[in-house]
Chains A and B, each alone.
Chain A
Amino acid sequence: MSDRIFGAVGLALAAFYIWAASIIPNSFMVDVIGPRTFPYIVGTIMALSSLIFIFRPSGEPEWPAVRELSEIAFAAAVMFLYGWVLPELGFVISTIFATAYLTWRLGTKPLASLVTGLATSVGIYVVFHLILGLSLAKGPLGF
């Protein structure tokens, strides 16, 4: 079943892709096959393989239960949030919380997670920013 759903999604994606390829504007420069041909080929391969998933699905993968699934969804949300607040709060503060959350969810006790978060954040800041000179997000406090 998973494969069939995947095939349907793939087919929709391929259709969308081919449609999006068909609206690629022409430019004043032209070559023999133009900017649309290769995307058409790619879209066709995607569509054909999706059809195979629909008609000849392979074994069902082991999907996680709702609990594990929400675990992943929350972790992803925290990571998105991390990307979003990075310029607002600066690297060090955002990283403390993001690391602490992930560490906590992987089974560390809350307080220990916070300590790990702090250590990771400061550690990365010192090694990558102060020693190696990489540019990290600056918050209102300058770090």
Chain B
Amino acid sequence: METLSSLADGFAIALTFENLLLALLGCFLGTLMGALPGLGPANGVAILIPIAFSLGLGPTPSLILLTSVYYGAMYGGRISSILLNIPGDEPAMMTCLDGYPMAQQGKAGEALSLSGIASFVGAFFATCGLVLLAPQLVKIALLFGPAEYFVLFTLAFATLGGISSTNQAKSAFAAAFGLGIAMIGSDSQTGSQRFTFDEIHLFDGIDFLIAIVGLFALSEVFIFLEKHRGGSVGHSGDMKIGRLLPNLSVLKRCIPTMGRSSVIGFISGVLPGAGASLGSFLSYSLEKQTVDREGKTFGKGDPRGVVAPEVGNNAASGGALVPMLALGVPGSGTTAVLLAVLLQLNITPGPLLFQKNPDVVWGLIAALFIANFMLLALNIPLVGLFTRVLLVPTRILMPVVAMVSFVGIYSITGSTFDVMLMVGFGILGWVLRKLDVPLVPIILGILLGNEMEVNLRRALTISDGDWGILVGSPLVLILWAVAIIGFVLPIFLSRRVKRNMEAARPSEEIAAGD
């Protein structure tokens, strides 16, 4: 009951003219960014944070704008998967398998609207799940002391690579690198200058936005330059959409699929280190095993093969918001970027968020429901508009992306040093991507570094310097166990999972992070 009344308050906040407009704008931009290969949800949100911030939007409106972008990008990813067999972002990879064959059979419109409905169902279910689950998780999280938090952060890093991560040493390096960057600047506890070498620009530390925009958005520009891929993704010839509305009987046949995939997607979103890509992968594989055991229709344009991964990916992206909001620990790249939004607005995520800023949380959740309806409306009748975007050549698009990133960073910091630092991060991001070092742990390290250290120091202050406090309660032991399993398991399992996912992946390279 309490939850329902909080939600009603949330709707009162979200239903103002400004917030509705921002949600619509976010949905629109998000779908665009999701549709364009090379601009995933993480990049899209990263570029828009500094802009939302320097526009002087308050916490709730900024969050509404940016999470609408996040949801929108998850919808948009499917468009180029279906029409061109190129996933617009990583989670949309599995949608290619049956979406593209459907388009080849002249049923592109049907596939697009079915997957639009599927996205809606997945996201709607996940948002309901968020409403129910997040407050429960908050109750548990309120029992956490500094030691538990320190271990929780460790767990987040340990599991971030997920089950498909092939090289845990590289994930560990990336996390340590990010944490190391976070230490630059004056120490929050004692005020000592650390790693600044008397360089005045470093006294306040390195702004995480600079690192995020550089590592994600600019490194993408370098990848495009390297590959000389300046042409447009689509050709007007391939883009025949055909009849838009699916058969009612087809839709009916997909209902059980939607139910199963919502649950799987949501769970993989909530679990640490799984995220939307794994959500869509698991949904698709399970669906294939359930309804098409002989492999007769899946992969050849079965509508259920389009619905399952789309439901899974959108349910997972809603599910991923649960740990981010309730614990302050994001499990995926894009939720890490959303965490950056909160930190930039001086809001500490985690259980206290629900107590101190209930308006922010519930306004955001209400906005997600509204955004979801907007997205359904945008994505079915207007899908033709978004397919046009695929005709814009990247040789024009990528420079614009770079310039908008520069504008965003310059407008919040007003410093050319920071602009150059961002270029440095862009190059670093390119090199690290070449070396197969994941970028998300770096971002998470920069974001959580100080909070993690503060918790460690608080815990040791409480125990008067006894490191035993880190293994001193049943709760920490459970967290350690999950962290260790999450870190070690992929070393044995990853090859199998990765191979299955690779087998499904089209050869084209796609944006990092989900």
Contacts and interface: CB of A to CB of B under 8 A. Distances in A.
B407 A72 contact: no
A106 B222 contact: no
A85 B54 CA distance: 22
Given A49-B173, A76-B426, A106-B228, A20 B195 contact: yes
Nearest to B50: A134
Contacts of A79: 218, 402, 423, 426
Contacts of B400: 99, 120, 124
A120 to B, nearest CB: 5
- B contact face: mostly helix, strand, loop, or mixed: helix
Contacts of B457: 31-33, 38
Interface string B139-172: 0000000000000000000000000001101101
A14 to B, nearest CB: 8
B406 interface: yes
B225 interface: yes
Interface residues of A, number: 70
Contacts of A137: 410, 416
A71 B427 CA distance: 12
Interface string B389-419: 0000111101110111011001100101001
A51 B53 CA distance: 41
Of the listed residues A49, A52, A63, A105, the one surrounded by the most CB atoms of chain B closer than 10 A to its CB is: A49
B395 A103 contact: yes
Interface string B220-252: 011011111111000000000000000000000
A127 to B, nearest CB: 10
A76 B411 contact: no
Nearest to B193: A25
Contact of A102 (B51, B190, B226, B399): B399
Interface string A59-98: 0011110001001100110011011101100010001001
Given A31-B189, A87-B416, A108-B230, A99 B225 contact: no
Given A79-B423, A106-B394, 18 more contacts: A24-B195, A27-B187, A38-B453, A49-B169, A49-B170, A53-B169, A53-B170, A64-B226, A86-B416, A95-B403, A98-B402, A102-B221, A103-B395, A103-B399, A116-B399, A132-B55, A134-B54, A136-B410
